[in-house]
């Protein structure tokens, strides 16, 4: 059982209670579900320690539901409601524009229970006849269904599954059955989404090693089990390939299974052009292995420098490596601060003191509190007066020394491109991140003009999560990035790399384009809404590396005084 599964059941209960017209409870279930889905540790650990009710949003009654699920795999409250509403809420939650009430109407009037049923109803033009829906809403639903199908491809945002993968690796390492264990594949490349996990191992006792692996508590089913390759399905809904190779081939196997595929294909061509053969067992001249035990040796034998896995996407890294022109990408340890953090003051879960000291424990030297501005009502955005009060608290906090808290805002860029707060308050802030969250149904031209007006205003420091995509839910806005890059350069406005897993925005390919444009710097943020999210700065840094950014390109490598000077 996974945290994610429990969270989905709690979300289901919330949806069904909302249909029942119950007050408050749906909200409580959703808060608890959100908490559980973003925990670092297995929920059963909290249960075993009797600490369920210490989790945010988990009261006594929800704790009982969770306990029931852990013990029996079922929640009676859920089962009872589900009899009344036999509907695939989990899938419908991922389709835009479908709240519980509308789902209920579709079920009651048309018998729609799942995505296929909804497709059939849309195709048969049944939706337009429903009260409160109409032709336009049918067309909209058709569009959203298509997006859903495109996005549904079962990939998970890396940041949500990274700890889980690393935890498996560390248990394999300490089991005693393995000589070497390494993550490979897209996780090692730190790609923003993951299709499956790839683990590469060497072992003197391969049979016992494979047995140990296939008996991990996360394993739901075994797809194939053999001495060199085992594939299992995991409880988080991804599968995992585990390979056992000889030590003499470990480097070439690690290179091969790290990929990506296009990078590998190009390497193999280079090998052939030099009279070698390259595969997962090594680099060969005739039958003789000339390299294979380490990755560095493999690259070197092909006349290349070894490069960070994050760069291996066949985006020019092989050519750069041949010419000894690989960038020295920013190191994870060079990131000193986090420039996008929320507190309770808007829609975060923690107080300023809580999140600042957690960040300090994690080694950050500073954080910028970037709470939402007043125009974002659903996030409890702050008006000028509340910002002024919060800023006083921050000044007071900073008197104690230690981690430095910067006064910031995630500022709504309004429909016409004007800003949500007056200059009189913005001038008192240290870090202003302008964001598009609302009224996004505009032409590409109007959207771009709107963002440009904000960039040209001289009032914002950075553009928050610039494409506004939500992985699995919403596609990138159709912005004209050539114009945006020009404006950022001209105005010295930073582009943000938001490391929150479902955002991962800017995506790495646009980061690389922006870097090639020249004259643009970048700010990294975890977009934390609770303590557990602070770790997402690592994901933002990974995107920076994948976009070939160096230390100088990333303002988070400055000390806080350096960041204060960016203010305009
Ligand atoms: P994913 O799982 O979709 O997130 O992405 P990857 O990159 O982990 O892909 P995966 O798991 O299918 O394969 C792992 C690595 O194995 C991949 O990065 C490169 C290598 N590989 C897989 N298939 C091929 C292939 O047909 N040719 C070559 N040269 N390499 C391959
Ligand atoms: Ca993979
Ligand atoms: Ca794989």
Phi, psi (deg, nearest 5) at residue 64: -65, -40
pLDDT tens digits, 59-114: 999 999 999 999 998 999 999 999 999 999 999 998 888 899 999 999 999 999 99
Structural contact between residues 436 and 451, judged by C-beta atoms closer than 8 angstroms: yes
Cis peptide leading into 506, omega within 30 of 0?
yes
Tell me the average pLDDT across 227-251.
93
Q: What is the model's pLDDT at position 37?
A: 83
Q: What is the model's pLDDT at position 1?
A: 62
Cα(241) to ligand 3 centroid in Å equals 5
Q: Nearest C-alpha to atom 26 of ligand 1 is from which residue?
A: 261
Q: Nearest C-alpha to atom 5 of ligand 1 is from which residue?
A: 186
What is the rounded CA–CA span in Å between residue 108 and residue 102? Answer: 10
Give percent of the chain above pLDDT 90.
88
Tell me the average pLDDT across 409-430.
96
Would the CB of 264 count as within 6 Å of ligand 1?
Answer: yes
DSSP annotation of 377: G
Query: Do 156-244 and 259-322 fold alike per CATH?
Result: no
Structural contact between residues 248 and 189, judged by C-beta atoms closer than 8 angstroms: no
Tell me the average pLDDT across 19-38.
91
Asked whether residue 417 carries a pLDDT value surpassing 70, the answer given is yes
Please report the atom of ligand 1 found closest to the CA of residue 193: 4
pTM of whole model > 0.85? no
Helices marked H in 323-363 — which ranges?
A: 352-361
Cα(249) to ligand 1 centroid in Å equals 18
Asked whether residue 288 carries a pLDDT value surpassing 80, the answer given is yes
Cα(198) to ligand 3 centroid in Å equals 5
Q: Which of 228-237, 242-251, 409-418, 493-502 has the lowest mean pLDDT?
A: 228-237
CATH superfamily of 156-244: Beta Polymerase, domain 2 (3.30.460.10)
Structural contact between residues 526 and 355, judged by C-beta atoms closer than 8 angstroms: no
Structural contact between residues 370 and 340, judged by C-beta atoms closer than 8 angstroms: yes
Please report the atom of ligand 1 found closest to the CA of residue 263: 29
What is the rounded CA–CA span in Å between residue 196 and residue 186? Answer: 8
Asked whether residue 142 carries a pLDDT value surpassing 90, the answer given is yes
CA torsion angle 18 6 473 410 (round to 10): 80
Please, which residues have CB less than 5 A from ligand 2, an ion?
Answer: 185-186, 196, 198
Asked whether residue 154 carries a pLDDT value surpassing 90, the answer given is no
Domain 332-564 CATH (choose: 3.40.190.10, 1.20.1050.10, 3.20.20.140, 3.90.700.10)? 3.20.20.140
Cα(152) to ligand 3 centroid in Å equals 18
Tell me the average pLDDT across 509-536.
97
**Max CA pair span of the chain:** 76
Asked whether residue 568 carries a pLDDT value surpassing 70, the answer given is no
Q: Which ligand is nearest to the CA of 260?
A: 1
Structure tokens at 235: 């409880």
Q: Which of 88-92, 94-98, 362-366, 371-375 has the lowest mean pLDDT?
A: 94-98
Would the CB of 265 count as within 6 Å of ligand 1?
Answer: yes
CA angle 395, 397, 403 (to 5 degrees): 110
Asked whether residue 506 carries a pLDDT value surpassing 80, the answer given is yes
The CATH architecture assigned to 259-322 reads 2-Layer Sandwich (3.30)
Average model confidence (pLDDT) for the chain?
A: 94
Topology at the third CATH level for domain 3-151: DNA polymerase; domain 1 (1.10.150)
**For the chain, what are the domain ranges?**
3-151, 156-244, 259-322, 332-564
Q: Please report which confidence band the pLDDT of residue 343 belongs to, taking 50, 70 and 90 as the band edges.
A: very high
């Amino acid at each position: 059982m996974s945290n994610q599964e429990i969270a989905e059941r709690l979300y289901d209960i919330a949806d069904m209670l909302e249909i029942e017209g119950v007050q408050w409870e749906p909200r409580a279930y959703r808060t608890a579900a959100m908490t559980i889905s973003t925990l670092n540790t297995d929920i059963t650990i909290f249960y075993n320690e009797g600490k369920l009710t210490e989790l945010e949003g988990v009261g006594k009654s929800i704790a009982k539901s969770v306990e029931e699920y852990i013990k029996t795999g079922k929640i009676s409250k859920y089962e009872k409601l589900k009899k009344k509403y036999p509907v695939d809420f989990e899938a419908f939650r991922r389709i835009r524009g479908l709240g519980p009430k509308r789902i209920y109407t579709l079920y009651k009037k048309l018998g729609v229970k799942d995505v296929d049923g909804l497709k059939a109803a849309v195709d048969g033009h049944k939706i337009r006849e429903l009260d409160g829906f109409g032709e336009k809403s049918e067309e909209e639903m058709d569009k959203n269904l298509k997006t859903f199908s495109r996005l549904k491809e079962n990939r998970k945002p890396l940041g949500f599954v990274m700890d889980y993968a690393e935890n498996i690796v560390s248990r394999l390492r300490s089991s005693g059955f393995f000589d070497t264990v390494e993550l490979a594949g897209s996780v090692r490349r730190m790609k923003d989404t993951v299709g499956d996990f790839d683990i590469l191992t060497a072992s003197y006792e391969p049979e016992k090693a494979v047995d140990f692996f296939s008996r991990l508590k996360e394993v739901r089913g075994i797809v194939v089990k053999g001495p060199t390759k085992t594939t299992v399905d995991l409880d988080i809904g991804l599968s995992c390939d585990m390979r056992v190779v000889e030590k003499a081939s470990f480097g070439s196997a690690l290179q091969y299974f790290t990929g990506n595929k296009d990078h590998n294909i190009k390497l193999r061509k280079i090998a052939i052009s030099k009279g070698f053969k390259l595969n997962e067992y090594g680099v060969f001249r005739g039958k003789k292995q000339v390299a294979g035990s380490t990755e560095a040796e493999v690259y070197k034998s092909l006349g290349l420098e070894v490069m960070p896995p994050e760069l291996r996407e066949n985006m020019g890294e092989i050519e750069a490596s041949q010419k000894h022109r690989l960038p020295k990408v920013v190191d994870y340890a060079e990131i000193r601060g986090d420039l996008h953090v929320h507190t309770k003051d808007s829609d975060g879960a923690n107080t300023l003191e809580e999140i600042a000291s957690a960040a300090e424990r994690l080694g950050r030297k500073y954080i910028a509190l970037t709470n939402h501005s007043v125009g974002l009502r659903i996030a409890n955005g702050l008006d000028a007066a509340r910002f002024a009060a919060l800023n006083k608290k921050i000044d007071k906090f900073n008197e104690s020394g230690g981690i430095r808290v910067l006064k910031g805002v995630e500022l709504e860029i309004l429909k016409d491109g004007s800003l949500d707060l007056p200059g009189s308050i913005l001038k008192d802030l240290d870090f202003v991140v302008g964001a598009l969250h609302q009224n996004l149904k505009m032409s590409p031209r109007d959207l771009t003009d709107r963002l440009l007006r904000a960039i040209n205003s001289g009032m914002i420091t950075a553009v928050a999560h610039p494409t506004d995509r939500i992985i699995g839910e919403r596609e990138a806005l159709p912005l004209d990035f050539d114009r945006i890059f020009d404006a950022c350069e001209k105005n010295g406005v930073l582009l943000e790399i938001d490391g929150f897993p479902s955002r991962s925005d800017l995506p790495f390919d646009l980061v690389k384009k922006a870097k090639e444009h020249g004259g643009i710097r970048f700010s990294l943020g975890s977009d934390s809404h609770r303590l557990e999210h602070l770790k997402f700065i690592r994901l933002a840094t990974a995107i920076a590396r994948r976009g070939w950014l160096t230390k100088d390109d990333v303002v988070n490598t400055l000390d806080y005084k350096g960041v204060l000077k960016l203010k305009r």
